[in-house]
Amino acid sequence: MLITVSGPAGSGKSTLASSLASELAHEHVSGGDIFRDIAAERGLTPLELNRLAEKDDAIDRDLDSRLRSIARNRDSVVLESRLAGWMAGEYADFRVWLDAPLDVRTARIADREGKTVEKARSETEARTQSETLRYEEYYGIDIGDLSIYDLVVNTARWGPDGVISIVVEAIQSYDPGRDEGTQTLKGVEYNFG
């Protein structure tokens, strides 16, 4: 089963994807790790690489090509990235979008990266703006369109254990054979907020 976990920075993608992969005995592949590796290889921060990617579409296209290849060629994978749900295309069996209010996400990022909340917020806003523009320009993707996701969770409402429980239950009860609009999870937003 190919499961994608997507969402903005600080939404809990890595935490969920790692736990979900362990719970389901799946491989975990992180697009963020691949992106950070590319940045480190070039001696750049992720924000600097994002800015460079605004001028050099080969950076995003390389990362996205790697994600599509993984989706096409591997089974039993939890694929995690902001665009994993889009990049996996028809190969995805279940797509999850995580989100949380900006204040919650930037506090998490500040804590994780040892920086001030103000700096984390400024960098997150700049990164989000940069990525949103590139996704639209390169692929015609409106990152705000959540209609492709089977489950949307506001991670500000639960801790990591609660989020994993919700997602595992949704995956276990998901019936992809049901028609859209008849009590299926497809296209239903579970924001619980």
Among 27-31, 112-116, 185-189, name the one with the lowest average pLDDT: 185-189
> At 188, is the pLDDT very low, low, confident or very high (cuts 50, 70, 90)?
very low
The pLDDT of residue 179 is 53
Residue 184 in domain: no
The pLDDT of residue 187 is 39
Residue 178 in domain: no
The mean per-residue pLDDT over the stretch 85-111 comes to: 95
CATH classification at residue 87: 3.40.50.300
Residue 145 in domain: yes
Residue 77: give the domain boundaries. Answer: 2-173
Nearest C-alpha neighbor of 136 from the set 60, 38, 58: 60
The amino acid sitting at 178 is R
Question: Which runs of consecutive H residues, i.e. helices, occur in 26-101?
Answer: 31-41, 46-53, 57-73, 84-88
156 in helix, strand or coil?
A: coil
Q: pLDDT tens across 32-66, in order? A: 888 888 899 899 998 898 889 888 988 888 888 88
Q: Which helix (H) or strand (E) holds 152?
A: strand 151-154
Using CB atoms within 10 A of its CB, is residue 102 exposed (0-12), middle (13-18) or buried (19+)? middle
What is the total count of domains within the chain?
A: 1
pLDDT for 88 beyond 80: yes
Q: pLDDT tens across 99-131, in order? A: 999 999 999 999 999 999 999 999 999 989 988
pLDDT for 98 beyond 90: yes
> At 186, is the pLDDT very low, low, confident or very high (cuts 50, 70, 90)?
very low
- Measured distance CA(3)–CA(47) in Å, rounded: 27
Give Cβ neighbours of residue 31 (< 8 Å, ≥ 6 apart).
Answer: 63, 67, 79, 80, 81, 82, 83, 84
Residue 44 in domain: yes
- Measured distance CA(81)–CA(64) in Å, rounded: 10
Residue 133 in domain: yes
Q: pLDDT tens across 136-182, in order? A: 988 899 999 999 999 999 999 999 999 999 999 999 998 777 655 43
Residue 182 in domain: no
Q: pLDDT tens across 62-83, in order? A: 888 888 888 898 889 999 999 9
